[in-house]
A and B are shown apart, each in its own frame.
Chain A
Amino acid sequence: GQNIDQPTEMTATEGAIVQINCTYQTSGFNGLFWYQQHAGEAPTFLSYNVLDGLEEKGRFSSFLSRSKGYSYLLLKELQMKDSASYLCAVLDSNYQLIWGAGTKLIIKP
């Protein structure tokens, strides 16, 4: 079966750095997405990785290792507004998105 694993919840301090991991087992791979979802709102796109390595976009970076079936989202200089759920999703061989359950990130002052 297809599976996306990410921690259920993480806590970090304002101004700090946090890394949210995602491991996946899917039938084929055509890219990995990270989305941010604030409580009660719709997901918004953060990043897309299809090749190995690190993609940096401001305070957020996303890393991919296809051989390990592994990705992480790195958030720097955390702000209170970063409190949200972070969803990892993989595009499989049929170009269908397989979603993880999300990691709820709690930022404390």
Chain B
Amino acid sequence: EADICQTPRYLVIGTGKKITLECSQTMGHDKMYWYQQDPGMELHLIHYSYGVNSTEKGDLSSESTVSRIRTEHFPLTLESARPSHTSQYLCASSSGKEDTGELFFGEGSRLTVL
């Protein structure tokens, strides 16, 4: 059973729609991250959180927003999806001191915007 769960796994939507990608972890990790990854390319950090009510933008925050109301939950919202948002979105969490520590990834949400 996965300790970090992302839903939906696959989503096809039209331009202009609002979507929320869900991410939940049961490991009690304080740190959570959202990455965007295109095929054969590096991971780009979109948003991250070091705990409840803490959110920061990464180097590719685009037009998305996140919230961290509970430790285990870190949803990502696109207010108005565009074809350029077509990509794979990976959620991850980690524990450990001073931001070190292994990242545990969810299985990803593959988004296609028509």
B1 at the interface (CB under 8 A from A): no
Q: Mark B14-46, 1 if CB is under 8 A from A, else 0.
A: 000000000000000000000000001111110
- B41–A42 CB distance below 8 A: no
Q: Is the CB of A96 within 8 A of B45?
A: yes
Query: Which residues of chain B from 90 to 105 have any CB-CB distance to chain A below 8 Å in the complex?
Result: 90, 98-100, 102-105
* Interface SS of chain B: loop
Q: How many A-B contacts if CB must be within 8 Å?
A: 49
Known: A30-B100, A91-B99, A97-B45. A102 touches B40 (CB 8 A): yes
User: Is residue A70 within 8 Å, beta carbon to beta carbon, of the partner chain?
Assistant: no
A39-58: which have CB < 8 Å to B? Answer: 41-45, 48, 50
Q: In the complex, what's the smallest C-beta–C-beta distance from B29 to chain A, in angstroms?
A: 14
Chain A CB within 10 A, most for which of B42, B44, B102: B42
A99:B42 contact, CB within 8 angstroms: yes
Residue B103 contacts which of A45, A85, A104 (CB distance < 8 angstroms)?
A45
Q: How far is the CA of A3 from the CA of B102 in the complex (A)?
A: 21
Question: Is there an interface contact between A42 and B107, defined as CB atoms closer than 8 Å?
Answer: yes
Q: Which residues in A have their C-beta under 8 angstroms from that of B102? A: 33, 45, 48
Chain A neighbourhood of B105, CB < 8 A: 42-44
B107 x A101 contact (CB < 8 A): no
How far is A85 from B43 in the complex, measured between Cα atoms in Å? Answer: 12
Q: Least Cβ distance of A8 to chain B in Å?
A: 8
Q: Which residues of A contact B45 (CB under 8 A)?
A: 96-97
CA A96 – CA B42 in complex, angstroms?
14
- What chain B residues lie within 8 Å of A89 (beta carbons)? 43
7 further A-B pairs in the complex, CB-CB below 8 A; given A30-B100, A102-B42? A30-B98, A42-B107, A42-B108, A43-B105, A89-B43, A96-B45, A101-B40
Chain B: residues with CB nearer than 8 A to chain A? 40-45, 90, 98-100, 102-108
Residues of chain A touching chain B, judged by Cβ–Cβ distance below 8 Å, are: 4, 8, 30-31, 33, 35, 41-45, 48, 50, 85, 87, 89, 91, 95-97, 99-102, 104
